[in-house]
């Protein structure tokens, strides 16, 4: 195990940021800490990096108790949401910083910087200042700088949060490929479930200072531990006693399937290739959201006011609707 977090707690006054967190992050994996803003995931990352100290608990990095070590002794690479590049240094100098601090020979520094700039595709910008780079380039620079010191773990705090959607997606793919090349144990914080599902080997879902679930993207999506995880990983709706995904609802125009609920289509919205239906189901206050493909909707000849019968598809991921879904669920 590369990072071992045991019983970590952190409070800011009355606010509990982290409450008894226990998690092991295996060597060489790409792990995502996923959760809503203010849920404590960034705090956990900063505690692992030593940028903040935990009130209780311990952090082991590569078998060494790092709980009381200052950040410069932990051998971690940290990448900030807003890049934190050194504005007054050239791109090459930024990358060389950690090596120069370690007093490595000049030739070695030069070779390493060239190699890393190659890796992040910034070779031709080596002599520019960070202010002459785009946001995505700055973040790649920050990543190269963190990798230069050959950290035992690489920590990224919302690394793509400040970038626009297109660059975000590119960098996400690129990070995944980079990780497959470099194989350094990587932990990144994100509130974007798509980002986590796409990039990570393992996802730790954190909410209100607690871990909700740990698992692979498939596990989390297919076997969510509770309605929060279910809701955070994608859109959900309630059908009778179950919470399930809108695309896991079977729509029929005639009764037949036992246990199906009858309803009336209130709204039909077409977005690209899919059709989103809002259905008033008898005996349920909350309207049911159904998503189906345009072709399917056309085949069923659905329109406003159509009477439909809804039932979960076979093999649908469901969790029992115990309580009123939390805020995050509604917004997801």
Binding flag, residue 85, other proteins (CB under 8 A): yes
168: phi > 0 → left, psi -120 to 50 → alpha, else beta; which?
A: alpha
Nearest residue (CB) to other proteins, 79 versus 214: 79
Taking the C-alpha atoms of residue 162 and residue 83, their distance in angstroms, rounded to an integer, is: 9
Site for other proteins in 34-73 (CB under 8 A): 49-51, 70-72
From 34, 40, 59, 80, residue interacting with other proteins (rule: CB under 8 A): 80
Smallest distance, other proteins to C-beta of residue 141, A: 11
Q: Is the four-CA dihedral 232, 47, 218, 161 of positive or negative sign?
A: positive
Binding to other proteins (CB under 8 A): which residues in 166-185?
none
CB 97 → other proteins: shortest distance, Å? 6
Burial annotation 240-265 (CB, 10 A radius, 16+ → b, else e): bebbbbbbbbbbeeeeeeeebbebeb
Mark residue 57 as left, alpha or beta (left: phi above 0; alpha: psi -120 to 50; beta: remaining): left
Stretch of 96-104, 111-119, 194-202, 282-290 contacting other proteins, by CB under 8 A: 96-104
What is the per-residue binding string for other proteins in 252-291, x denoting contact by CB under 8 A?
----------------------------------------
Q: Is 200 in the site for other proteins (CB under 8 A)?
A: no
- Strand positions, DSSP E, 137-254: 153-157, 185-190, 202-207, 210-215, 237-239, 242-244, 249-252
Chain residues that interact with other proteins, rule: CB under 8 A = 49-51, 70-72, 74, 76-78, 80, 82-88, 97-98, 101-102, 142, 145-146, 148-149
């Amino acid at each position: 195990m590369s990072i071992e977090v045991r019983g970590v707690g952190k409070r800011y006054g009355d606010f509990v940021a982290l409450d008894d967190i226990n998690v092991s992050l295996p060597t060489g994996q790409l792990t995502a800490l996923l959760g809503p803003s203010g849920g404590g995931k960034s705090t956990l990352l900063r505690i692992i990096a030593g940028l903040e100290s935990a009130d209780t608990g311990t952090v082991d990095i590569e078998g060494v108790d790092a709980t009381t070590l200052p950040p410069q002794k932990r051998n971690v690479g940290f990448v900030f949401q807003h890049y934190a590049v050194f504005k007054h240094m050239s791109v090459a100098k930024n990358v060389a910083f950690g090596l120069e601090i370690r007093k490595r020979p000049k030739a070695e520094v030069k070779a390493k910087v060239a190699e890393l700039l190659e890796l992040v595709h910034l070779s031709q910008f080596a002599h520019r200042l960070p202010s002459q780079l785009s946001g995505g380039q700055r973040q790649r620079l920050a990543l190269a700088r963190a990798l230069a010191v050959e950290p035992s773990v690489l920590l990224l705090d919302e690394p793509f949060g400040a970038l626009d959607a297109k660059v975000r997606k590119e960098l996400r793919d690129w990070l995944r490929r980079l990780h497959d090349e470099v194989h350094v144990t990587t932990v990144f914080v994100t509130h974007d479930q798509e980002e986590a599902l796409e990039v990570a080997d393992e996802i730790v879902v954190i909410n209100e200072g607690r871990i909700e679930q740990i698992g692979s993207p498939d596990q989390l999506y297919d076997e969510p531990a509770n309605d929060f995880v279910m809701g955070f990983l994608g859109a959900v709706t309630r059908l009778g006693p179950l919470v399930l995904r809108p695309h896991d609802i079977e729509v029929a125009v005639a009764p037949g399937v036992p246990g199906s609920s009858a309803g009336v289509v209130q709204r039909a919205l077409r977005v690209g290739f899919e059709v989103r239906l809002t259905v008033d189901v008898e005996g349920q206050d909350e309207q049911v959201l159904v998503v189906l493909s345009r072709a399917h909707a056309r085949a069923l000849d659905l329109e406003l006011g159509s009477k439909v019968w809804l039932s979960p598809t076979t093999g649908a991921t469901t969790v029992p609707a115990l309580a009123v879904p939390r805020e995050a669920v509604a917004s997801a």
